[in-house]
Structure 1
Amino acid sequence: MPSPTQRVLARVPARLRPFLVRHRRLVKFLVVGGVCFVLTLVIDIELKFTVLEHKPVVALTVATLIATAVSYVLNRQWSFRAGGRQREVLLFLLVSAAAIVVNDLPLVVSRYVLELREPHVGPFVQEAADFVSGMVVGTFVAMLFRYWAMRRWVFTRPARPIAADPARPRTQPPPEPGYAAHEVPQDTP
């Protein structure tokens, strides 16, 4: 029985399949990020308009923390599938803490440096500025940072020595980082 990834790839136009397979980690990371973005947005809005009405940075931080926990599970189980547990969890927490700061910075600048908040601006401008700075700019910059840091430090596979293969042409590119030449990921067609 084909995996869920194989079933989705079967529905993608044939000319796009090689690109998606070649960049499968990035595609999976972006899917997880999309799910967590929606989760962050829903929680942030709920908190901002209820219990944390006058604390938008705290609301965004709490929403991001919850989505980060979900992100860890999804990335660990699906996107990267690698790494030693104790070291991985510690590094994930460190990277996530830095990413939360990166995510919050545009909102802090918007609210408290540029003063895009009431009474300096109207409620609509305040909410639009909060959304653009916190959810769009902050999330985008934090996503770039997370992908780079997770791939580099958190979800890594120990490199296996690759024996010299005389049949392998020298012009062939090296295998994707994290995979030995003879490995094929489980979820590719």
Structure 2
Amino acid sequence: MIRRTIGIVDYGVGNHASVRQTLYSIGYRCRVSGDRDVLADADLLVLPGVGAFGAAMEKIHALNLAGFLCDQARSGQPMIGLCLGMQLLADGSLEHGYHAGLGLIPGEVMPLEQARWHIGWNTIEVIGGDPMLQGADRKSMYFNHSYYFQAAPEFTVCMARIEQPFTVGVRRRNIVGLQFHPEKSQDAGRDLLQNVVEGLCA
């Protein structure tokens, strides 16, 4: 395997340590940074995140990273958003009022209608047969969220169910978003993360 360099975007909101440790254990070099030059030099960017959408976007703007992330994604640099990082890829969110997102994948972040919180293990269903994701079909992943990315069908690549199905994975060309935490999902999450990194960088 080529020893790729992963740039983990540090904007002050995120579980950098567990994401870095998982990627490092797979064999990747990791650079946790908010420096645009460091991130631009990476083979792939990971946008992690925990907490509220609006506060996260404020920090991204304060560090002048919003335009940079959009430019890098649109120029073809592979990017993966995890949990809140996936939601930040959307046009906007209704969490605590309306907040604009990065607008990299069309859709809005909405409150879950079936439960106040979705915490714990749940099975994902891969939609459309994307080879990067197909090995994770019917595998259980770890979730912790109360909002979800309502994306158009053409960008939806994974679903999960509480009572009704909802989107937990999105893709638009070189950009992938995963609502669950692959870094906390044991072997299934680790394998999926490696497949997505290699698929996007191929």
TM-score band, normalised by the shorter chain?
Answer: under 0.3
Higher helix share: 1
- What TM-score do you get using the length of structure 1 for normalisation? 0.26
Greater CA radius of gyration, 1 or 2?
Answer: 1
Higher RCO, 1 or 2 (CA under 8 Å, sep at least 6)?
1
